């Protein structure tokens, strides 16, 4: 076979594979969207510390505090009155499952944060949950246009287990960065590792770099 024939043969092969995995022209195949070390699921597993706070819309609120010009606490009605955004994103959990095309609805984190007006010194955030959970991110990561405080998924309100009434969704990080039953966003000058981050999980949590642990596994 000539070189050209080889190239054509391998392209044909690749195209065939893409057809088999349901790829549409110009889109990544499902396989290419599953990071290394992950397996695809379709049943949206539940993962948390097992302490599920009994919070509902009348008792839910979200406080933005710390290095902000306008400390603010939003109740459910105020939250729902904000512009609503939809995001379709893949979800990757460090326990090695990935679910594609999660169809979230809620308020863009950056629209919410604009109300609090973080000061120039604010560079990092702690996300708080009603169960006492915390996780940390650079403020810039929260301002990404795919980051959502979600109240619905797949066209239905979140189940209690998945964080009802509202949870954070950060598609570019492992799922532990997405605080369920979100109660607060705290702004700091310095980074403050959260619940899992102080227990050895990686600070940055990029699934495409397999940033699972902050130190070599097994230590
Ligand atoms: N408030 C709170 N948020 C949380 C957790 C938690 O224990 N409490 N667990 C995190 C972890 S480790 C994961 S993997 C995801 C799982 O989200 P899911 O249960 O909706 O799949 O939630 C994250 N958010
Ligand atoms: Mo997790």
Rg (CA), the chain: 20
Give the ligand at the shortest distance from the Cα of 102.
1
Atom of ligand 1 nearest to the CA of 131: 1
Cβ neighbors of 70 (< 8 A, separation 6 or more) are 115, 116, 117
Rounded CA gap, 76 and 190, in Å? 30
Rounded CA gap, 27 and 122, in Å? 37
Protein residues whose CB sits closer than 6 Å to any atom of ligand 1 = 45-49, 93, 129, 131, 133, 162, 175-176, 178-181
Yes or no: say if 160 and 53 are a contact pair by the CB < 8 Å rule: no
**Pairing between strand 167-169 and 148-153?**
antiparallel
Instruction: Name the pTM for this structure.
Output: 0.87
Tens place of pLDDT per residue across the chain (219 aa)? 666 555 556 655 655 555 445 444 456 788 899 999 999 999 999 989 888 898 999 999 999 999 999 999 999 999 999 999 999 999 999 999 999 999 999 999 999 999 999 999 999 999 999 999 999 999 999 999 999 999 999 999 999 999 999 999 999 999 999 999 999 999 999 999 999 999 999 999 999 999 999 865 444
Q: Which CATH class is domain 53-209?
A: alpha beta
Q: Hey, whose CA ends up nearest to atom 7 of ligand 1?
A: 48
**What is residue 63's DSSP assignment?**
E
My answer on whether omega of the bond before 163 falls inside 30° of 0, hence cis, is: no
Q: Hey, whose CA ends up nearest to atom 6 of ligand 1?
A: 48
Atom of ligand 1 nearest to the CA of 46: 19
Q: Hey, whose CA ends up nearest to atom 24 of ligand 1?
A: 179
């Amino acid at each position: 076979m000539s070189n050209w024939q080889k190239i054509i043969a391998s392209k044909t092969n690749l195209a065939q594979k893409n057809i088999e995995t349901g790829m549409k022209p110009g889109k990544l195949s499902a396989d290419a969207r599953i990071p290394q070390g992950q397996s695809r699921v379709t049943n949206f597993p539940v993962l948390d510390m097992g302490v599920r706070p009994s919070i509902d819309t009348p008792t839910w609120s979200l406080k933005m505090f710390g290095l902000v010009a306008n400390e603010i606490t939003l109740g459910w009605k105020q939250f729902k009155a904000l512009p609503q955004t939809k995001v379709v994103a893949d979800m990757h959990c460090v326990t090695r499952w990935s679910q594609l095309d999660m169809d979230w609805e809620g308020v863009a984190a950056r629209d919410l944060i604009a109300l609090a007006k973080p000061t120039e010194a604010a560079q990092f955030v702690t996300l708080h949950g009603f169960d006492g959970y915390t996780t940390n991110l650079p403020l810039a990561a929260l301002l990404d246009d795919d980051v959502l405080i979600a109240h619905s998924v797949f066209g239905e309100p979140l189940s209690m287990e998945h964080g009802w009434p509202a949870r954070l969704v950060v598609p570019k990080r492992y799922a532990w960065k997405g605080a369920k039953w979100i109660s607060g966003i705290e702004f700091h000058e310095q980074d403050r590792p959260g619940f899992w981050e102080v227990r050895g999980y990686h600070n940055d949590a990029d699934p495409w770099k397999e940033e699972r642990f902050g130190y070599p596994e097994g230590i």
